[in-house]
Amino acid sequence: MRYPSIDVLRSLAIAMMVIVHFVENLSAWYGSPGDGDLTAHGFWRPTGLAAPLFTLLTGVSYRLWVRRREARGDSDEAITRSSVRRGLFLIGLGFVFNVLVWLPEDTFNWDVLTFIGAALLLLTACRGASSGPLLLAAVAAVAVSPALRELADYDSFWTQGYFDPGLTLGDVGLGFLCTGYFPVFPWIAFPLVGYVTAPAVFPVRGGSATGWPMVAGAALVACAGTAMVARSAGGEPPAWLRLQGWTMFPATVEYVCGTLGAALLALPLAHRLLDRGTRDTMLTRVAGTFSRHALSIYLLHHAVHIWPLWIWGAAAGADVTTHWQRALPAPMALAVAILFLVCAYPLFRWLEATGRDGVEGLMRWLCD
């Protein structure tokens, strides 16, 4: 069973990713990915809002996928094999994506695809665990992250706001664990919480939903807001709290709590609004198409706006990155992003109508 609420939230996440990436990669927006500032010369972008929602939904969707596989009688071993293959597929795809889109020197930047693949492997290993230990693991992942970054000397891995590790086993390992774009600590908290939350919001037939996700979400948002207000008022938190303000790179305690809380609030609210008495509407059709092809859209939108930059630079005999963040004014980059989203819908509807499939179909063929 597909839930329109999940489709809508996943579509919202992928749309925000497209907008942020087009604006930040095509325009001179005068910001740094790690500065935590959502504005650049007065130009607002939904920076840092998509990935938390997307990774939380990874855990939710995996739990519901396992439930469907169990309902049709698949063995635990078959589910495990398919899960492992999916995780490895996404990790491999992430490396190929880094090489083909971001050039070979960025192979080990530990972007969202490699993280989601690793998260699926971890969720597979933890599938039989109860909710309590998984939630404790999520809390621990967030709590220890500042200390791990300090021990690893996080800032030394970042050059002008971008992850730039050495190609050594130590640097690559630290990037995966705590210094990359989407390291295990603290990002694993999002899929873990999503996996635990799924049965509370989407109970099995005959069960009833529980309200703890909304309570937990409100509490997390309140904690993050309190911390931010205290900092803005000039208060200095105790050193052991290791609060660093609102930034995505690194994903600080405040950022994780605030975005995780917002995602926990959004999920049950969307379920109540969209999944009861569902009708076939334009919203559900568009969201369903974008959600089913979210992985393909993620890959395609990078190729559409990054490859022309590299080709343009190479054709001019200059460095291939010459036009990166210099190609267009921010408002025009936003317009191009919206044009891409508008064109993507009929493209993927056509693929569905003609029986073709994107990368998702390849993953199912290889892994399921």
| DSSP per-residue string spanning 286-348 | HHHHHHHTHHHHHHHHHHHHHHHHHHHHHHTTS-TTTTTTTSB-HHHHHHHHHHHHHHHHHHH
User: What pLDDT shows up at residue 237?
Assistant: 58
User: What pLDDT shows up at residue 242?
Assistant: 58
User: What pLDDT shows up at residue 229?
Assistant: 79
Q: Decide: 261 and 216 in contact? Cβ < 8 Å.
A: yes
pLDDT tens sequence across 146-166? 999 999 999 999 987 789 898
Per-residue pLDDT of the chain (368 residues; tens, 9 = 90+): 789 999 999 999 999 999 999 999 998 754 444 444 434 445 677 889 999 999 999 999 999 999 999 999 999 999 999 999 999 999 999 999 999 999 888 899 999 999 999 999 999 999 989 999 999 999 999 999 999 999 999 999 998 778 989 889 999 999 999 999 999 999 999 999 999 999 999 998 767 778 899 999 999 999 998 888 777 666 555 554 556 778 999 999 999 999 999 999 999 999 999 987 767 788 899 999 999 999 999 999 999 999 999 999 888 877 888 888 888 988 899 999 999 999 999 999 999 999 888 899 999 999 98
User: What pLDDT shows up at residue 33?
Assistant: 43
Q: What distances in angstroms separate CA 112 from CA 115, 132, 176, 231, 298, one per listed residue?
A: 5, 26, 11, 29, 10
User: What pLDDT shows up at residue 114?
Assistant: 97
Cα 259 from Cα 36, distance rounded (Å): 13
DSSP letter assigned to residue 175: I
User: What pLDDT shows up at residue 276?
Assistant: 79
pTM, full prediction: 0.92
Residue ranges per structural domain of the chain: 4-367
